Amino acid sequence: AAAGLPGACCPTNSGEMLNCCKITDPTTIEEAKCEKYEGCADLPGLCCPTADGTMLACCNSGAASFAEKGIFSSDDDEEDEEDEDVDAPVGASCSANLGCSALPGNCCPADDGTMLACCSDSDPENEAKKCENNPGCAALGLGGNCCPANDGTMSECCNAQVNNTQAMCSENPGCAAAGLPGACCPTNSGEMLNCCKITDPTTIEEAKCEKYEGCADLPGLCCPTADGTMLACCNSGAMLENQASAGSYGEDKKKYRRSQTKGRLSLDPVEDQ
């Protein structure tokens, strides 16, 4: 209510529980009101911080601070904060997080486990925690924080070594044929590209751009591409079948016909009559 939000909040009509639902302490609400801060006085609701934990810039523009009002300055409060910090995750302190540095206590997460919005502001230490920035965790497709996690534990994947040789595009036939550089299986961000699944030599050979008159000037794979897309040039001019030796599949005494189904390549063996 203090934030001035309309409609349903706890939860919303879509079932989402807004952060402001957790703000129940009258003192905290009163001290966060925009009207309490000279720079934010013209704004409605909560500003310092807002209902989602963001500290607006106007809070530091001629602002009254919590310390000036003595809200968090008593010896009892200092002792309480020290007790809370004993079990707090490493780096949870608001002061240790750039975007939350103006707030007291713990923010990332707060003592109730809530991760305030200000925690996401760019900070080297926070970036280093992210799973996506640690190769071993990125390769597992993990999200959020891993090194350490929000509870302070260091995930096993933080020290895992990724087999960079196997991940290289050049070591995976489908990606190599597509002419992709660097790491593909997975990429440095942990994504496994579609070309990693293309391993059949025949499929790769038949998808090469050079096999099609309309695509002959293009490099890599065209019909389809490494991600399964059938380029328009595949139908512009016939496949250069005369260049593909009839004996290339002679060992199995099979011919191959190409068909296009939903924009993707299929190779169907047809026995000689």
| Model pLDDT for residues 198-240, shown as the tens digit of each residue | 888 888 999 899 989 889 899 888 988 888 888 889 887 556 5
Cα–Cα distance, 182 to 175 (Å, whole number):
10
Find how far residue 142's CA is from the centre of its chain. 9
Residue 103 pLDDT level (bands cut at 50, 70, 90): confident
Average pLDDT over residues 26-54: 82
Instruction: Give the mean pLDDT of the chain.
Output: 70
Side-chain-facing half-sphere of 35: CA atoms under 13 Å: 7
CA distances from residue 45 to 8, 32, 110, 119, 177 in whole angstroms, order as listed: 16, 8, 22, 22, 59
What pLDDT does residue 65 have?
42
- What is the CB-side half-sphere exposure of residue 191 using CA atoms within 13 A? 5
Residue type at 131?
C
Buried b (16+ CB within 10 A) or exposed e, 167-203: bbbeebbbbbbbebeebbbbbbebeebbbbebeeeeb
Cα–Cα dist 84/26, whole Å: 20
Q: What is the mean pLDDT of residues 36-52?
A: 82
62 CB neighbour count, 10 Å cutoff: 11
Q: Which range, 9-23, 65-79, 157-171, is most confident?
A: 157-171
Q: What's residue 73's pLDDT?
A: 38
Residue 67 in this model has a pLDDT that exceeds 50? no
Rounded average pLDDT over 104-131: 75
Q: Where in the chain does DSSP place strands (E)?
A: 254-261, 264-271
